[in-house]
Amino acid sequence: MADQSKQKYKLSEHLKEILIGVIVTVLSAVLITWFSLDKVNNTKCLDPNLNRTITGNWVQHLRYPEQQEWLQGGAYKVYIEGECLAMSPIDVSMVGQNMSTPNEIIDVKFDGTEWSFRSHLQDGRILVFRLERKSDTLYEGYSYIDGKVVEENQWVKLPNR
């Protein structure tokens, strides 16, 4: 009888360890998700006055480091979706042979002077844009892949129709 009690106790302790491991794993996943969502929530459009300056249609001009001329990269719409800023391509027919067209644009952030977003390209790479305000209708900066500059960018806001 004593041996059976010891075995049941060992089994019970082993089950407790497994249960604690499962709980720790689940809590870790919940916390990681929560902190990730907190970063995404930084894209919320908290200031309607700022939103009006960035929402609208924009044309991208880009220049590769080895080139002198600016190329037109495409036209994009910046809009509010729920409580977040979002972007989508309007016309990427202008995108040249050396450029990859965006598959998805995410993590659109704007604080009044800086505008950033990530573009998932059709070839699987992620292009990160970091732009600074020059005027209400002009933002300049660079796009990066893996932390390396890919192209210089100018984004020009189109007049509302």
Q: Is 48-157 a CATH 2.40.128.120 domain?
A: yes
Report pLDDT digits (tens) over 82-105: 878 899 988 876 655 455 566 789
Each domain of the chain, given as residue ranges in start order, spans 1-41, 48-157
Encoded tokens for 69: 């001329």
Q: Which strands form 114-121's sheet, in the order they lie side by side?
A: 84-91, 71-81, 56-63, 148-157, 138-145, 126-135, 114-121, 102-110
Q: Is the pTM of this model over 0.75?
A: no
On whether the CB atoms of residues 59 and 156 are closer than 8 A, the answer is yes
